[in-house]
Amino acid sequence: MYWVAASTPAGDGEEMVSKWLSACVKLEELLTATRLKTSVRKLSPIHQTSDVEAFHSTINHFAPKIIGFSFHGMNCRLLLAALHFNENSGRPQAMTEDGLARYNILFPKYKSGGYITREKKINQSFRYINTLMKSVGKIVEGTNMRQSPKVPMQAPRPLCAEYIHPLKTDAILEMQSRFRKPEM
């Protein structure tokens, strides 16, 4: 709308209407494009991805990708991440003593000095840890400490176990034969 008025300095109303209608044609082409209609058909009326992204962020906190964990270590960390997320995902907005909603002001890089406001949530809860520690205590009390602890599940075979491993000497000879220059 601003472009229509700014690009018509004489103020000719008929010219502005024709510019407006031409812009509407372009907009209609964009909004009725096959690709956009295909995407609209796939929209979920109930579920959005923000919760999934928040859960993945929680997993990255408990099991950072930069560190390699054993199968059992990773399994325990994923279970802890799920417990933490389930307890804290629906936290309400924090309120002041006067009953006013609290907000944070953030300065993300993509705003180049600009800011955004976000609801401030109440502090995270870690109540699940007490329940978990009580469960671990019951398990430890019921076992003989001289016995080795039982592993709850067997670790799967490594993915590379599916492949045939050649002898190292054969692999080296094969590599050298590929790079050997034919004698002339």
For residue 71, give Cα distances in angstroms to 63, 84, 133, 149, 161: 12, 20, 22, 16, 15
In this structure, the chain runs to a length of: 184
- Asked if the structure places residue 6 within a domain, the reply is yes
Nearest residue to 55 (alpha-carbon basis) of 75, 82, 77, 87: 82
* Tens digit of each residue's pLDDT (9 = 90 or more) over 94-136: 999 999 999 999 999 999 989 999 999 999 999 999 988 888 8
Asked if residue 19 is part of any domain, the answer here is yes
Distance of alpha carbon 124 from alpha carbon 163, whole angstroms: 46
| Assigned domain for 183 exists | no
In a domain, 98, yes or no: no
Question: Using 50, 70 and 90 to split pLDDT, how confident is the model at 83?
Answer: very high
23 found inside a domain: yes
The number of domains in the chain is 1
pLDDT tens across 17-57, in order?
888 888 888 888 888 999 988 888 887 777 777 888 999 99
Q: Region 54-76: what's the mean pLDDT?
A: 93
Residue 90 lies in a domain: no
What's the whole-number average pLDDT of the chain? 86
CA distances from 106 to 51, 56, 95, 115, 116 (A): 21, 22, 18, 5, 5
Q: Is residue 28 part of a domain?
A: yes
In the chain, the percentage of residues whose pLDDT exceeds 70 is 90
* pLDDT of res. 148: 59
Note whether 75 and 59 are within 8 A (CB). Answer: no
Q: Residue 149: what pLDDT?
A: 59
* Confidence (pLDDT) at 7: 86
3-class state of residue 160 by DSSP? helix
Task: Tell me which residue of 89, 93, 88, 91 sits closest to 128, measured CA to CA.
Answer: 88
3-state secondary structure of 25: helix
pTM of the predicted model as reported, rounded to 2 decimal places: 0.56
Per-residue pLDDT tens digits for 127-159: 999 988 888 877 767 665 556 556 568 888 888
Question: What per-residue confidence (pLDDT) applies to 58?
Answer: 95
Bridge partners of residue 116, in order along the sequence: 106
Angstrom distance (rounded) from CA 127 to CA 124: 9
On whether residue 78 sits in a domain, the answer given is no
Domain encompassing residue 7: 2-41
Distances (CA, A) of 125 to 75, 128, 143: 22, 8, 31
> How many angstroms separate the CA atoms of 20 and 4, rounded?
6
61 touches 94 (CB < 8 A): no
